[in-house]
Structure 1
Amino acid sequence: MKLHLLAAISALALSACDKGPNLAQVCDSHPLICQEFKEDNWCKKERTQTIFAGADLQDSPSDQHKYNLLIAYENYAECVSFASQIEHIKLKEKKTVRINNYIKAKERIEQLSQETAASEHPQLLYFHWTRYLNERSLEKFLRLEGSPELETPASQLNLATYYAKRDPDKTLNLLFHALELYQAGDVIDSEIFKSLTTIFTDKKEYKQAYIWLKIMRLYDPEDTDLTEKSLKNYQEAFQLDSDFLDQVADTTLDKIKAGEFHSPNLKG
């Protein structure tokens, strides 16, 4: 089952990071951070996230901000790696800029990873397990299960990722609990909806699977993993009453967005 290892990216709540005036203010007060990567037409959003995350860490050093910066660097490195493979007929120097930015981003990731190797922060523990197969970090992370430190949507999703192939029912409960922890106005990680769909499909509970597919479609219609046509094909393949199920999906999503969702199954 695909439970994205970067689900914790929701922790990157970098406020208004793509708005010009705010970015200009940050660059005015943190010029060296803004000069870390040479500007390019590609990966602007990802580069901006590294700037805001870097400024946050400089202004308020914490393990949470280190984690946010690691994720921002990873996102930027992934984007610029793809962009660097694109040849420019007239501006071939652009490729060199992107390659240099990619190398620098990977160096920053390595540097910050070494700096946080001994951290007890839940998200950094999970990071060091998933990226470096650090078994000690995994053990520490799992020992925190049930503690207040893991009572966040991101950490519950991280736990679900670990248990996905080991205990599907527990994974289901963890995903539901992650949804319970969202407050009104929070940005929801749609990976949860995808994972719920996968679990219910594997369990041959196609009505439930369709509901979560529809919720995903309603919440993030721009997600290319699911189109209206593929949703229709799913409904037809299993001869589902889409009118009724669509209503259920709409009501369920409203509750999640309002911070009023309650798990239908909290048994562990």
Structure 2
Amino acid sequence: MRNFVIITSFISFIAFSGVSGCEKQPDTSTICKNNPELCSDLHADSWCRYEKSELIRKRYKLKFIESPSGKQIYQQLLNLEKYNQCIELAAGVQHILHPERTNDRIRAFGLSAQSLSQLQDTTKNSQDLYLAFYHWTRFNDMEAEKVVLAAHKAQQIDDILLLSQIASYFQKFDAYQSNLIYLEVLDISDEDNFNPDWLLGLSNNYQKLNDLELTYLLSRANVLMTKQNVSEEKMLALIYGDETLQSFLDRQAEELVDVIEDGEFSTSAIKKRLLRSPPTR
């Protein structure tokens, strides 16, 4: 049997046979009782309940995978990060009646930080898209950036999170290219996976391109999706106080929200509007 210690670097692995992929996963208490090596570095009390549970479940799932994919390791890195950040805060809370609980959290913070560091070191210089994406976005690793951008240039990326990050990257120096990538993101968006902040990214780009009508339209769509309060006076000022145009753009924004939530943006008429050439300055 191969040994796989998930709390460190994915180098060792304990594989058990006879586990069906359709089998219902046990609760975290049962997982820890039957697989103590998956939980021994974690704290015992109820702080960071969600982060700890997610980490345990993902570790348990990975235990039965002989060769985890880059995406699965990437998810494990994210889970470790979230747990480590949460338990760091919890470790700073002093428990007066039970100081051993504080000590346990401090221990868990130290061990999870070590586990995270080891996994980061193990995955550095990986050519896997997801692991390169992690090192680019976390450490500004230029070699990892090249891997991700080359994959995008070769049209090998269909992950919405990765595409949105690349769109954000181009936003710094090429608003038009950033828009094209954001529109790729909208093509594969629906109500469940869409982040309204992407509309603000598009809106900022259109403002840089001096297309204030689309700046307004995208900002309005963001407001509709997030229910955020906004200065209507400033919104109207974007289109020079033209209330007739405002009514038209408000309807367009509602249409945009509908097609995004229905997952129909790629075939919508409003996509063509967003693809129009920037106005001449």
| Of 183, 204, 208, the match for 1:198 | 204
Structure 1 spans left out of the alignment, 5+ residues: 1-19, 222-226
Q: How many Å separate the matches in 2 of 1:232 and 1:44?
A: 41
Residue pair 1:201, 1:209 contacting (<8 A) in 2 also:
yes
1:209 aligned to 2:209? no
Q: How many Å separate the matches in 1 of 2:264 and 2:196?
A: 17
| Of 155, 166, 177, the match for 2:173 | 166
Structure 2 spans left out of the alignment, 5+ residues: 1-24
| Of 42, 49, 61, the match for 1:37 | 42
Structure 1 33/207 Cα, relative in aligned 2: closer, same or farther at 3 Å?
farther
| Of 95, 113, 131, the match for 1:124 | 131
1:70 aligned to 2:77? yes
Structure 1 25/212 Cα, relative in aligned 2: closer, same or farther at 3 Å?
farther
1:53 aligned to 2:63? no
What letter corresponds to residue 260 of structure 1 in structure 2? Answer: E
Structure 1 148/167 Cα, relative in aligned 2: closer, same or farther at 3 Å?
closer
Residue pair 1:214, 1:231 contacting (<8 A) in 2 also:
no
1:110 aligned to 2:117? yes
1:156 aligned to 2:167? no
| Of 232, 247, 253, the match for 1:249 | 253
Residue pair 2:191, 2:260 contacting (<8 A) in 1 also:
no
With the length of structure 2 as denominator, give the TM-score of the two structures: 0.70
What letter corresponds to residue 235 of structure 1 in structure 2? Answer: M
Residue pair 1:213, 1:231 contacting (<8 A) in 2 also:
no
Structure 1 142/27 Cα, relative in aligned 2: closer, same or farther at 3 Å?
same
User: Which deviates the most, 154-163 or 205-214?
Assistant: 205-214
Structure 1 232/116 Cα, relative in aligned 2: closer, same or farther at 3 Å?
same
Question: How far apart are residue 143 of structure 1 and its match?
Answer: 1.5
RMSD, matched Cα: 3.3
Q: How many Å separate the matches in 2 of 1:200 and 1:38?
A: 48
Question: How far apart are residue 63 of structure 1 and its match?
Answer: 1.3
Question: How far apart are residue 115 of structure 1 and its match?
Answer: 2.1
Q: How many Å separate the matches in 1 of 2:35 and 2:226?
A: 34
Structure 1 35/143 Cα, relative in aligned 2: closer, same or farther at 3 Å?
same
**Structure 1 vs Structure 2: percent identity of aligned residues?**
22
Question: How far apart are residue 104 of structure 1 and its match?
Answer: 2.2
Paired residues, number: 241
Larger radius of gyration: 2
Q: How many Å separate the matches in 1 of 2:193 and 2:237?
A: 32
What residue number does 2:275 align with?
265
- The C-alpha deviation readout for 1:128-172, integer Å capped at 9, x for no partner, is 123233322222222212334312212211222322212121111
With the length of structure 1 as denominator, give the TM-score of the two structures: 0.73
Structure 1 39/140 Cα, relative in aligned 2: closer, same or farther at 3 Å?
same
Residue pair 2:175, 2:209 contacting (<8 A) in 1 also:
no
What letter corresponds to residue 275 of structure 2 in structure 1? Answer: N
